[in-house]
Amino acid sequence: MSVSDNPGPFFRIEALRQSFDGHPVLRGVSFDVPRGKTTVILGGSGAGKSVLLKHLNGLMRPLAGSVQVEGNDINDLSERDLTPIRRQIGVLFQDGALFDSLTVGENVAFPLREAGDRNEDGIRYRVNEVLELVGLKGQEWKMPGVLSGGMRKRVSLARAIAGRPACMLYDEPTAGLDPILSENITRLIAEMKDELRLTSVVVTHHLGAMRFLADQVLFLKHGEVRYCGPAAGLDDSDDREIREFISADAMGRT
């Protein structure tokens, strides 16, 4: 079933469990990611946010539970069978994960070439197009090693959207950036969603980014879902952990 034909959620996560060295990291996480909307996964450090994100495209396999992408359970798929699904899902990794041995242009062109595109003129055009979209036009000959943290994130974002994915996963997109760069990246994510009509999942612990981006919020604590619903509802939650998180963030901003 193609993206447009499927009326259900883009991702359906059911009773997901994961543990490392006997230490539980995800404890029966269940939620849906609606198509074309932005879901923000919120929580403190060590809550299991990034681990949960890596289950969505099969980078990690759960101990129990299921991950459905477009209605297809991906748990039992081989790496090879996951390829077409993964190519629908762009990922912005926490530190960019750019390939150090390739230039900016080669990094952005990488997913296009790997998907079998042999039209070099078309690839060049697309690389320029997405680099312009992230405000890095003309930087294609630079090596990742000479880029600032913010530029690396933007190149990584350009690489992730180059293959025109139906969905984007963002792992801590504003971590380690100054407030101005954080705001730029957050705005860029919002623009991507609006212009490209992407389904987005954003992992963050910044409430400001969450309020700007979220159509739906999932609050994780110790691998458990404490809240799943609209962003506005989070402030009305009675959960002590959520209230502490919100008040700590407010203190951090004052």
Partner 1 sequence: MKRMAGYLAASVAGPVLGLLTYLGQVARLLVEVLASLLSLRIRWRLVLAQIVAIGIGSQLVVIITGAFTGAVFAAQAYFKFSELGLGSATGPVVSIAMCRELGPVLAALMVAGRMGASMAAEIGTMRVTEQIDALRAMGVSPLDYLVVPRVLAILVSMPILVGEAILFGMLASELLTVQLFGVPAAWYETQLLAHTGVPDILTGLIKGTFFGGLIVLISCHQGLITSEGAVGVGRATTRAVVYSSLAILISNLFLSLLLNPLLPTVTMDF
Residues within the interface to partner 1 (CB under 8 A): 54, 57, 59, 79-80, 82-84, 86-87, 89, 91, 93-95, 97-100, 110-111, 114-115, 163
Nearer to partner 1, 53 or 228 (CB): 53
Nearer to partner 1, 80 or 118 (CB): 80
Minimal distance, residue 99 CB to partner 1, in Å: 6
Encoding tokens for residue 126? 């697309």
Provide CB contacts within 8 A for 140, sequence distance 6+.
Answer: 103, 104, 105, 108, 127, 128, 131
Minimal distance, residue 113 CB to partner 1, in Å: 10
d(CA 228, CA 234): 8
Minimal distance, residue 93 CB to partner 1, in Å: 5
**DSSP secondary structure of 16-67:** EEEEETTEEEEEEEEEEE-TTSEEEEE--TTSSHHHHHHHHTTSS--SEEEE
d(CA 208, CA 183): 9
Nearer to partner 1, 82 or 181 (CB): 82
Nearer to partner 1, 114 or 178 (CB): 114
Q: DSSP 3-state assignment of 163?
A: coil
Nearer to partner 1, 127 or 217 (CB): 127
Minimal distance, residue 144 CB to partner 1, in Å: 10
Per the CB < 8 A criterion, the answer to whether 129 and 122 are in contact is: no
How far is C-alpha 96 from the geometric centre of its chain's CA atoms? 12
Minimal distance, residue 78 CB to partner 1, in Å: 10
